[in-house]
Structure 1
Amino acid sequence: MSITVSDAPDFFSRERTVAGPAFNRWLVPPAALAIHLCIGMAYGFSVFWLPLSRAVGITQPVACPADLGFFGSLVATGCDWKISQLGWMYTLFFVLLGCSAALWGGWLERAGPRKAGLVSAACWCGGLLISALGVYLHQLWMLWLGSGVIGGVGLGLGYISPVSTLIKWFPDRRGMATGMAIMGFGGGAMIGAPLADWLMRYYASPTSVGVWQTFVTMAVIYFVFMVGGALGYRVPREGWKPEGWTAPATTKNAMVSSKDVALEVAWRTPQFWLIWAALCLNVSAGIGVIGMASPMLQEVFGGRLIGVDAAFGALDAGQKAQIAAIAAGFTGLLSLCNIGGRFLWASSSDTLGRKVTFAIFFVLGFVLYASVPTLAEAHNVLLFVLAFCVIISMYGGGFATVPAYLADMFGTRMVGAIHGRLLTAWATAGILGPVLVNYLREHQLAAGLPNAEAYNQTMYILAGLLVVGLICNLLVRPVAARHHMAEEKADVGGARVTAVAPNASVTPAGATSAVSPAVVFAAWAAVGVPLAIGVLITLQKAVILLH
């Protein structure tokens, strides 16, 4: 029976992304970075809060009537939004990220990374356009729906889309591969926030703060990059392995399995929930500190940051402005450590092992959190900053290492879907960490403690969370053989690459000729140059602190 063109897989299908023999696997990481650097702007959305809080008044916020109810504030056009209302977009980002990754992780494995990347681009950039219309019409609900909900779905799909693909391309360097991609999510704000600030100043006028125009411009830019990244995704053919590489014998490391576990089985195992708890506790401690980094440095050291022996509350407006600039440099430095930690810790885990790497996070983290009050009391700014740089590097490192940890435990076939379910730990930590830090601080201040000591108890409690995380990590054992997928059922969930009929009109990328090194260089330059610019801008801010 002859096979016509209509029998060929759809262009967006997983089968059409199967790479040919000559494909260069180093083209896949920049494709992943192109998407992660765009959706990583979610970390930098606070740059919009102040301009949006005076979108009506332009120079000064116009207060809403005191009797305006919740639903009235969603559609009010004559008064400005509060920053607390806008902040719900940030909360929705990470709640929807975890939920959408958990809900559609299995679909991603069946549909393939190209289709998931394109849907992510449509949701993230479409959400920005809806938000732009919401700003133009001054409808708060449109911002929540556009960027918060629809954009949050795009975040989830974009975040997990490269994970299983990169792990399959780099079985010899799982941690490094996922570290390269997830590093981009941490770096997205370093590029996007300065770009957004420049665009808002460019578009600002006597009648507009320039936000809706900035949303439209960034949506177009991000769509080009994300579509380019999605179309650049390729999956290896069945049985592919790096040239000259031999899979290590499983008996050498019982914590690395060559067997696969189905999604619906994996998330019911003790290993899944122990790793879930370990990630949640590591992230809870780190994200709570990130949210309070700037005020913490200012309140703990006060005037000593500028050579004045005075508490924060005793400083005048000019002195407070000086230390605010120093605190901004501290925040920028933490961003660099977040990014660097994602790549360095994940790469190191290829040698150390995933379980040992997480154990380092918890043991070293416990020591550092517990020592922070002592460093603050000793007024040692340098060691205080260094301690938090290491802490935040491990926060980022946990995100980048955990996909490889899951691949070690449950195999590579369904790791993207399993990772999606695990990201509900992030959504939980996004609520637990900031609430814990903020409310403990308020409790300490209400008890009469000075601002400089308000964080001491918080640091000890966060250190205690890491002890619980260490116990969870130590309890992780290899998955029992009864949970492994049988060979004849290895295509459960549609994750196996389906062979394409020989007469079908499908030409895998790289099937006929080797990829030119110039193409690889250009792909890396497309993502590397913007990332380098973002790093330089952040370093300029950090120099103020180091000086």
Structure 2
Amino acid sequence: MKDQPYQRSEKQIENDKFLIFNIPFNRWILFPCAFLVQSSLGSINSWSVFNKPIDSYIYGDQNKGRVPNGMDAIFFLLAGPFLERNGPTKGIIVGGICLAIGHYLAAIAVNTKQILILYFGYSFFSAVGNAIIYLSPISTLIKWFPDNRGLASGVAVCSVSAGNILIAQAVLPMVHAFGLIYTFIVLGSVFRGVLLALSLVYRLPPPCDKEKAPEVIDSIDIKSSGSELKTVKSETLQNEEIVLKEPNPSNVSFFQALFSNEFRMILIIFVANEMSEHIFNSHLSNMVQDIYGKNPKTATMVVTINAAFNLFGRCFIGFLSERIGRKRTFNLLLSLSLVCFLTMTHFINNGNYNGFIAFTWIYSISYGGGFGTLPAFLSEIFRNKNIAPTHGVCMATWNLSGLIGGFVFTGIYDSLRDKGHSISDPILYNTNLYWLSAIVAFGLVVSFLIPVTVRDRKYPAVPKQILKKRLFGRIIRVIKRKRNPIEIVSKEKENEEWNNYFIQHNETLNVSIKAK
């Protein structure tokens, strides 16, 4: 299967220079548009507020059903390639229509009291809409702002949290004002109208604007990774010289990116930092009430403020990654998450409510920051054309990890309860925090090992090499041999091996050959 990127005619490219009529298009308008597009997902991500009204209407018992909403992972895998082939305008149109259909089916399900329509109809269409709408603004903003990738991705993803807060607060008043059935109809109609209108604003930048920005994946320009552009005499071609150039990362296809070691490592650190978001947040209200004896109103306040810190982390950390680099940002976030989890177990054991809440909110900044940094990181490693597909795979894996982690958390919790531990016993939650800490610690180790510069990613391995890592500017490799298994490569030897690698692979590495 070959990559089939979205292609525009010359006329389309010319038309995209204007917003409407003769009003020129300005890329900064995409920021407020991204906020509105992503905010529409608040009804999906805040679905728990619908549970009690739906269960009361269908079953007459507000604790009966608990409708799941878990198909997102499947469609995140498909949404990325769809967007790269069809562009953001068609993506937002399709996503908006699916989101509206999902809400209309929810209204039908409630009106007819057919829970299966809600299970399969709403869940299916809302999952399709959620995946496409989530990815569309992020990939588009990064392509328009290659000079501010971190800011673009941070602002785009923080809009989801803002939508969660706003719509979660609006749902119950709407139910009381219009009734549950008409609430779904109103939301579906509003989302459809707003998204169809905003789809007309979205477009891709002109082809000449792509890939202009320097890379800051490790707080350095990727082109200054220690490589030197040299002209060397060819040993195989007479009277010719070879100009050595860096490989062009833009030539990487989606499948090459997907099966690369770098992507696997990025996937690991993202899941390690974000997996507990599904698990921890869904139990935060219970922890506040069960461990510390707080009332439901206080627990709701804690959860709302926690969402605000998540929003702040998505935006601020994305911007911060522009200054310190994406890899160092993930190193910081994973370290912060590990410290928070281990410290929270101490506060839970000691019954320290204020300390627990403080570190909970700090952790919320950390996992929010992971979402804000990931798209920019993927863009700089695998280039703009692979943002949506690779980001979709990451989001799908994150959703699945949260589902699996949720089963593990519940299994441990129920097992300990069956052994006689009360709901206020710290062991119920601390045991789960320990295994979550182990995953974060593993992610932290992997984060330090990610090769981010072109030279480190493409540097050739020597026979029987087990491991290679750059530390303090020098390549250190472990080789399977009896004498001197650990080798520190000198700068001279590194440049020689790097240049020889270029010469031997001149066709695949885009080497330019000039006549002497």
Show the counterpart of 1:82: 64
- 1:54 and 2:28 aligned: no
Structure-2 change in CA distance of 1:414 and 1:379 (3 Å):
same
**Equivalent position amino acid for 1:170 in 2:** F
Show the counterpart of 2:271: 280
Equivalent residues of 1:118, 1:227 under 8 A apart = yes
- 1:376 and 2:367 aligned: no
- Picking from 179, 185, 188, the partner of 2:154 is 179
- 1:111 and 2:86 aligned: yes
- 1:258-407 matched pairs, under 5 angstroms: 259-260=249-250, 261-302=252-293, 305=294, 323-407=295-379
Equivalent residues of 2:258, 2:390 under 8 A apart = yes
Equivalent residues of 1:183, 1:343 under 8 A apart = yes
**Equivalent position amino acid for 1:46 in 2:** S
**Equivalent position amino acid for 2:425 in 1:** A
Deviation of 1:134 after TM superposition, in Å, equals 1.5
**Equivalent position amino acid for 1:23 in 2:** F
Show the counterpart of 1:314: none
- 1:418 and 2:401 aligned: no
Show the counterpart of 2:443: 469
Distance 2:95 2:75 in 1: 11
Q: Residue 394 of structure 1 aligns to a residue in which SS?
A: helix
**Equivalent position amino acid for 2:398 in 1:** W
Equivalent residues of 1:178, 1:401 under 8 A apart = yes
TM-score, length of structure 2 as denominator length: 0.76
Show the counterpart of 1:220: 189
Deviation of 1:130 after TM superposition, in Å, equals 1.4
* CA RMSD, Structure 1 to Structure 2 (Å): 3.0
Show the counterpart of 1:44: 46
Distance 1:142 1:81 in 2: 19
- 1:129-140 matched pairs, under 5 angstroms: 129-140=104-115
Deviation of 1:184 after TM superposition, in Å, equals 1.1
Distance 1:471 1:484 in 2: 35
Show the counterpart of 1:236: 205
Q: Residue 162 of structure 1 aligns to a residue in which SS?
A: helix
Q: Residue 398 of structure 2 aligns to a residue in which SS?
A: helix
**Equivalent position amino acid for 1:150 in 2:** F
Consecutive unaligned residues of structure 1, counting only runs of 5 or more, are 1-7, 62-79, 204-209, 306-322, 488-547
- Report which of the two has the higher share of strand: 2
Q: Residue 232 of structure 1 aligns to a residue in which SS?
A: coil
Equivalent residues of 1:275, 1:473 under 8 A apart = yes
Show the counterpart of 2:414: 442
Equivalent residues of 1:125, 1:219 under 8 A apart = yes
Consecutive unaligned residues of structure 2, counting only runs of 5 or more, are 1-7, 216-220, 228-245, 459-504, 511-516
Show the counterpart of 1:76: none
Distance 1:150 1:168 in 2: 28
**Equivalent position amino acid for 1:289 in 2:** F
Show the counterpart of 1:91: 70
Equivalent residues of 1:127, 1:147 under 8 A apart = yes
Equivalent residues of 1:118, 1:226 under 8 A apart = yes
Q: Identity over the aligned pairs, expressed in percent?
A: 25
Equivalent residues of 1:343, 1:397 under 8 A apart = yes
Show the counterpart of 1:125: 100
Query: Taking CA–CA contacts closer than 8 Å with sequence separation of 6 or more, which of the two structures ends up with the larger relative contact order?
Result: 1
Structure-2 change in CA distance of 1:296 and 1:253 (3 Å):
farther
Show the counterpart of 2:4: none
Distance 1:179 1:145 in 2: 32
Distance 2:400 2:506 in 1: 27
Distance 1:32 1:280 in 2: 25
Deviation of 1:429 after TM superposition, in Å, equals 2.0
Deviation of 1:82 after TM superposition, in Å, equals 2.7
Structure number with larger C-alpha Rg: 2
Equivalent residues of 2:247, 2:509 under 8 A apart = no
Give per-residue Cα distances to partners, 1:488-541, cap 9 Å, x unaligned.
xxxxxxxxxxxxxxxxxxxxxxxxxxxxxxxxxxxxxxxxxxxxxxxxxxxxxx
Distance 1:357 1:163 in 2: 19
Equivalent residues of 1:250, 1:258 under 8 A apart = no
Equivalent residues of 2:97, 2:129 under 8 A apart = yes
Deviation of 1:330 after TM superposition, in Å, equals 0.7
- 1:507-526 matched pairs, under 5 angstroms: none
- 1:144 and 2:94 aligned: no
Structure-2 change in CA distance of 1:234 and 1:140 (3 Å):
same
Distance 2:209 2:431 in 1: 52
User: Which of 15-24 and 273-282 deviates more?
Assistant: 15-24
User: Which of 174-183 and 430-439 deviates more?
Assistant: 430-439
Equivalent residues of 2:40, 2:163 under 8 A apart = yes
Equivalent residues of 1:9, 1:16 under 8 A apart = no
Q: Residue 263 of structure 2 aligns to a residue in which SS?
A: helix
Equivalent residues of 1:18, 1:235 under 8 A apart = no
Structure-2 change in CA distance of 1:348 and 1:269 (3 Å):
same
User: Which of 382-391 and 472-481 deviates more?
Assistant: 472-481
Number of residue pairs the alignment of both structures matches:
426
Structure-2 change in CA distance of 1:127 and 1:25 (3 Å):
same
Deviation of 1:452 after TM superposition, in Å, equals 3.1
Show the counterpart of 1:532: none
Distance 2:42 2:506 in 1: 35
Structure-2 change in CA distance of 1:10 and 1:54 (3 Å):
farther
Equivalent residues of 2:146, 2:213 under 8 A apart = no
Distance 2:80 2:372 in 1: 17
Structure-2 change in CA distance of 1:365 and 1:9 (3 Å):
same
Deviation of 1:91 after TM superposition, in Å, equals 2.2
Distance 1:193 1:485 in 2: 52
Structure-2 change in CA distance of 1:14 and 1:416 (3 Å):
farther
Equivalent residues of 1:250, 1:257 under 8 A apart = no
Give per-residue Cα distances to partners, 1:164-212, cap 9 Å, x unaligned.
2211211121111011111111222211122211110012xxxxxx211
Distance 1:195 1:253 in 2: 50
Distance 2:298 2:77 in 1: 39
Show the counterpart of 1:452: 425
Distance 2:169 2:247 in 1: 44
User: Which of 19-28 and 155-164 deviates more?
Assistant: 19-28
Show the counterpart of 1:156: 131
Deviation of 1:391 after TM superposition, in Å, equals 0.9
**Equivalent position amino acid for 1:467 in 2:** A
Equivalent residues of 1:363, 1:470 under 8 A apart = yes
TM-score, length of structure 1 as denominator length: 0.72
